[in-house]
Structure 1
């Protein structure tokens, strides 16, 4: 029995259906089989066209930033964009553990990308990176405050980036869970209310599909914009 609405994000909540983690990895393995299978066709299949168009879209967006001059950074963001979308969609499957609703999931990517850019910038271009903390043309008496503000803004980037993805995905799943609970309780009391809730939930699922795409795009786009602070030769 669910104690509260947030119990739906508890890994043990769906334990009655078996080992959900094995099901998730089995699904990813099945998608890998499909990817290998369609790669043998001479003419690209619809799945390959969808994969190429998704990664190509993110690759073209990241080419506009300084990340295009960092070796392998744009390719990593394109693959990460596709991975985030697949994981977000998997959370919409009934009785599927919503991984993208947890901060550990988003923070593992956000902090890793942010730390790699910071460490790379400090190690390779120490003077240029430190000079970036102080905007040009500022009065001398404002320099200590500007450095402090810029340092704090850089330090909170992985937190805001990770919280944005986790909060938006968890909010949508909470709304879907609430409508499902109310619809299951109204099926025996009022058929009209039950049909209305089901009708609203159908449209909200379509809206949630768009949220999955948009949040994956925003996460990768902000990560690519953060690369503008990385000094280049």
Structure 2
């Protein structure tokens, strides 16, 4: 019986060292499966997913995006592995902590901003004012766009954390209530199975959203791609 509902998200296992964070690195052991696993349906499915993601990220980044799609694919696989491992029993859900998500979002956003402001300063300044904005509204638009850029790492981190915490809290509540309401155990188990399927979909979707938004933010600072692309990608 848990004394606190949020005790399932407690990363501390000992006073000196927290072993729960080691679960975030377990995926690195099994990801290079081509070195030790024969080709099967699982590896073929993963290969197709990676090629689909590569094509989509390449379309978002533009023509001059050699090697940049690897960043989005790596983010997707890393977050997806940790999200799915968190659904298994007795495995620490690292993606439900801001320490984990902010560590990915903040350095990524800072590197994108530094690259854009150092290499394409005029383009970054022009991006603060959308095309067709009246002169009277330009100061307000600069303020709004600046705030929108500053909250991007926070929105990436909080979105992933909140979605992972919400599902785990629901499953914890249902698991605790099944002890008190034994006559409704079968109904609660069916609800938990449905919720587990829903959480699996959320784990995949949140990994995809994080990687796509990161790719969109990176595409905005690339002046050559935005000049050639007929679409303007702006997301906050």
The TM tier, using the shorter chain, reads 0.7 to 0.9
Deviations 1:59-104 (A, max 9, x none): 2221222366344221111121111111100001111111011112
1:196 matched residue in structure 2 = 187
CA RMSD of aligned residues (A): 2.4
- Partner Cα distance (1:14, 1:205) in 2: 30
Query: What SS does the aligned partner of 2:55 have?
Result: helix
- The number of equivalent residue pairs is 222
1:117 matched residue in structure 2 = 112
Query: What SS does the aligned partner of 1:48 have?
Result: helix
2:215 matched residue in structure 1 = 224
Query: What SS does the aligned partner of 1:64 have?
Result: helix
* Counterpart contact for 1:14–1:95, Cα < 8 Å: no
- Partner Cα distance (1:206, 1:51) in 2: 20
Query: Structure 1 residues 138, 157: CA separation in 2 closer, same or farther (over 3 Å shift)?
Result: same
Query: Structure 1 residues 20, 146: CA separation in 2 closer, same or farther (over 3 Å shift)?
Result: closer
| TM-score of the two chains, using structure 2 as the length reference | 0.84
2:227 matched residue in structure 1 = none
Query: What SS does the aligned partner of 2:88 have?
Result: coil
Q: Which runs of no fewer than 5 residues in structure 2 stay unpaired?
A: 225-236
Deviation for aligned residue 1:118:
0.8
| TM-score of the two chains, using structure 1 as the length reference | 0.85
- Partner Cα distance (2:58, 2:126) in 1: 25
Query: What SS does the aligned partner of 2:223 have?
Result: coil
1:105 matched residue in structure 2 = 100
